[in-house]
Amino acid sequence: MATLKIENLTKVYPNGVKALDNVSVEISNGMFGLLGPNGAGKSSLMRTLATLQEADSGTVFLNEIDVLNNPIELRKTLGYLPQEFGVYPKITAEQLLNHIAILKGITNGKERKEMVNYLLQKVNLYEQRNKSVKGFSGGMKQRVGIAQALIGNPQLIIVDEPTAGLDPGERNRFHNLLADVGQEVIIILSTHIVDDVRELCSKMAIMNLGQLVFHGSPTDVIQELKGKVWQKSIARTEVAEYQQKYQVISDKMIAGTPLIHVLSETNPSNGFELVEPNLEDVFFTKIN
Ligand code: ADP
């Protein structure tokens, strides 16, 4: 059982942007979703946890490992899949995994080969192992990314904005793969896509302007909004007026017509109907 304990983490960039503002959260085994709009501070947090950049203050412990003061220890048990998984031209999937396994300190050739073969099979790329990764589709590259993140049996896996650029089929396969490995280790999935978290994560946090504005289970927090979310189809010209009059959580176009969700303890009447709250309602409520 692994536990990641983040306490009072703060980071101000030289340009004065406070990307992490006293972030504290405890995360244990399973898939944890970190949701936030662009610029919220998700990547700053992920890079700090992956020991790729330093924080100004605060502490991070993975079980007994003091992550910020002992990055080398952490890296032995870390799998990191960055937003852009860059690869060298012409390298094959097998060569790439072998190379990263060497970098991760797996010096025994036989052990390394077994591990690489096992991972190629796990991510369903064994047949393509001798092909150049450069020619792979987005989804295949992400699977190589997951395979390399799994080298060395990490306890902590960090996945930063994983599904951008994947088609729906690739995204499903990628999700299944994550859910499959996510039982015994901590996987932190950072994303601005609400559906990714809804589909995969039993625990989550929402980040905005460098702060954690929510931490808990998606089902519990959705439950909190029950009976308070109302929807109505309105004309485009009415959007501004409704935003003034009601606490509008979201407005989106359905077949060319704006559908708004508003938050209200009581029935706003005026043609609104009560709806089952969803994670998107939670997200917009927490970041506004
Ligand atoms: P997210 O991953 O949620 O989009 P980031 O962590 O990338 O958020 O960014 C958080 C804030 O910090 C943003 O305002 C961003 O512009 C700023 N920022 C990120 N990296 C740097 C950097 N290296 N130097 C200065 N500002 C940065």
Choose the final residue of a domain: 160, 186, 217: 217
Please count the structural domains in the chain. 2
Task: Check whether residue 213 and residue 227 sit in a common domain.
Answer: no
Cα(169) to centroid(ligand 1), Å: 30
Cα(16) to centroid(ligand 1), Å: 11
pLDDT at residue 93, as a whole number? 95
Residue 86, Cβ neighbours under 10 Å: how many? 6
Under 8 Å between Cβ of 33 and 202: no
Task: Check whether residue 37 and residue 95 sit in a common domain.
Answer: yes
Domain that holds residue 189: 3-217
Cβ 42 under 6 angstroms from ligand 1: yes
pTM, to two decimals = 0.89
The set of residues, in sequence order, having a beta carbon less than 8 Å from that of 272 and lying 6+ positions away, is 230, 231, 232, 262, 264
Cβ 43 under 6 angstroms from ligand 1: yes
At 53-67, the pLDDT tens digits run 999 999 999 999 999
Task: Check whether residue 137 and residue 25 sit in a common domain.
Answer: yes
DSSP 238: G
Cα(168) to centroid(ligand 1), Å: 28
Q: Ligand 1 pocket test: pick from 13, 47, 189 the residue with the most ligand atoms within 8 Å of its Cβ.
A: 13
Nearest Cα residue to 221 out of 288, 275, 278, 284:
278
CA 265 to chain centre: 31
At 118-161, the pLDDT tens digits run 999 988 899 999 999 989 988 888 889 989 999 988 999 999 87
Alpha helix stretches (DSSP H) within 123-163: 138-150
Q: Which residue's structure tokens are 């609400």?
A: 194
Choose the final residue of a domain: 217, 249, 270: 217
Q: Is the pLDDT assigned to residue 87 strictly greater than 80?
A: no
The conformational region for residue 165 under phi > 0 = left, psi -120 to 50 = alpha, else beta, is left
Task: Check whether residue 233 and residue 108 sit in a common domain.
Answer: no
Task: Check whether residue 258 and residue 186 sit in a common domain.
Answer: no
pLDDT at residue 176, as a whole number? 85
At 265-284, the pLDDT tens digits run 999 999 999 999 999 999 99
